[in-house]
Amino acid sequence: MNKHIHILGICGTFMGGIAVIARQAGYRVTGCDANVYPPMSTQLEEQGIELIQGFGLEQMELDPDVYVIGNVVARGNPLMEEILNRNLPYVSGPQWLSDTLLRDRWVLGVAGTHGKTTTSSMLAWILEHAGMNPGFLIGGVPQNFGISARISDSPFFVIEADEYDTAFFDKRSKFVHYRPRTAILNNLEFDHADIFADLAAIETQFHHLVRTVPGNGLIVCNGLEESLQRVLKRGCWTPVETFGNSAGWGMDDENRIALKGDIQGTLHWELQGEHNRMNALAAIAAARHAGVPVALGMEALSLFRNVKRRMEVRGVSNNITVYDDFAHHPTAIATTVAGLRSKVGNARILAVLEPRSNTMKLGVMKDALPGSLKDADHVFCYSGGLGWDAREALQPMGDKADVSDDLDLLIGEIAEFAMPGDHILVMSNGGFGGIHEKLLERLGADC
């Protein structure tokens, strides 16, 4: 009989990815969570994985070989408490993944405050295009693959290397478990205020990652980030290639790619924005370390389709386009709005924001929101569940911002305000109450 794992917190992007590749590797996989919403729930159901709502004690009857614990699970969770009381075998998701599936593979890890999902998707696609059939685990759904995770018989495995903590019983960052041979350090800013006191604390975790990269590996590092330079100055035992500066990989406004000033070719693709150029450089450099020629990497990116929930068009109603984007950190919000502005020119952008991440809920970065939204013509903010005053935080925007703690009321206000030709950019790292479909339906009804 196949080994059986039961995953607590299965519907997060990371744990859901583990579920998918465990299933593909021949394990029987079941799992539970408190909240279930697409795209992860859809993926899991399509894979034939049994989902259980909540953390009820009846799940003990499943009697798996091991319980795999997601970091959303805390002490006091009834199922976790029973596992502890009975002294049953349990392990964190990153540890299970490392011990079971990654140990003998060439791991390519993508770390950074921003761009992890997009860069991981680019890197996996480059390796795929080169015929290397990589496995991968990505915190989103790359549209070139249509799934966020897979295992394969290839030695290469691309993983989004997250700095968030591992589990309630292991407070190290997830990425210290992966032991990458190729590591991308995309950028590093303060985030995750619920678990990190300051930027220096995150830099320490990034240095823990640097300590795990072997001497015959490669670190691909953003050459413009002072925080990452501080990390490497703490000690580095691995060759480093930089990107974004003249000493390493660079790309100009014509999308010509250079390495130490030597032109390697021109990238012809549909993505826009400086952040995507940086992501592409990191992916091409990492793929080159795994054996993919630069020209082939550029050819792959010319066929790259962006990740779901990254400026994804969810629909058009009454000539009003509704987008979905995962942006939730002020830097990512600013980058996303600027990217849409470069695409739509002078057309009106209506930014719709749900400050849902733990950092945003704590209000640590609320003062940065007006600046991050400055390129939008109007802002609608959902304030439900916040511990701070969103109206006060957005007051510098004057009458360009509307705030409501009633989602249905907010949707009505957006629909009433919108006009044909507008672009509605919805930004949240959660399901946001199905706002995209509700907006499209309301816009259609109002047309």
What CATH number does the domain containing 82 carry? 3.40.50.720
Residue type, 299: E
Q: Which two tokens stand for residue 20?
A: 């998918």
- Domain boundary pick from 301, 334, 363: 301
The string of DSSP codes covering 419-445 is -TT-EEEEE-SS-GGGHHHHHHHHHHH
Question: Could you write out the three-class secondary structure of 69-94?
Answer: ECCCCCCCCHHHHHHHHCCCCEEEHH
Is residue 424 situated within a structural domain?
yes
Give the burial class of 259: count Cβ atoms within 10 A of its Cβ; 0-12 exposed, 13-18 middle, 19 or more buried. middle
Q: Where are the alpha helices (DSSP H) in 345-419?
A: 358-362, 369-372, 390-393, 407-417
Residue type, 53: Q
What values do phi and psi take at 283, rounded to 5? -65, -40
Q: Are 385 and 391 in contact (CB under 8 A)?
A: no
* Residue 62 shares a structural domain with residue 130: no
Question: Cis ω on the peptide bond leading into residue 134 (within 30° of 0)?
Answer: no
Is residue 124 situated within a structural domain?
yes
**Consecutive 10-residue runs of the chain (447 residues): their mean pLDDT?**
88 89 94 79 83 94 97 95 97 96 96 90 97 93 86 96 92 94 92 77 94 97 95 97 93 91 91 86 97 96 80 87 84 84 90 78 76 91 83 88 89 92 88 86 71
Q: What pLDDT is attached to residue 241?
A: 97
* Residue 334 shares a structural domain with residue 408: yes
Domain count, the chain: 3
From first CA to last CA, the distance across the chain in angstroms is 58
Residue type, 160: E
At 305 the three-state DSSP class reads coil
Q: Which domain holds residue 236?
A: 104-301
Is residue 75 situated within a structural domain?
yes
Q: Are 113 and 107 in contact (CB under 8 A)?
A: no
Angstrom distance (rounded) from CA 52 to CA 37: 13
Q: Are 358 and 194 in contact (CB under 8 A)?
A: yes
Angstrom distance (rounded) from CA 252 to CA 265: 11
* Residue 336 shares a structural domain with residue 272: no
* Residue 172 shares a structural domain with residue 296: yes
Residue type, 196: F
* Residue 244 shares a structural domain with residue 172: yes
Neighbours of 132 (CB within 10 A): 18
Q: 137: domain CATH number? A: 3.40.1190.10
User: Cα dist. 402→11, 181, 324, 414 in Å?
Assistant: 32, 48, 19, 9
- Domain boundary pick from 47, 70, 92: 92
* Residue 297 shares a structural domain with residue 423: no
Is residue 306 situated within a structural domain?
no
Is residue 98 situated within a structural domain?
no
CA contacts within 13 A on the Cβ side of 198: 1
* Residue 121 shares a structural domain with residue 73: no
Q: What pLDDT is attached to residue 446?
A: 52
State the Rg of the chain over Cα: 22
Is residue 378 situated within a structural domain?
yes
- Domain boundary pick from 281, 301, 321: 301
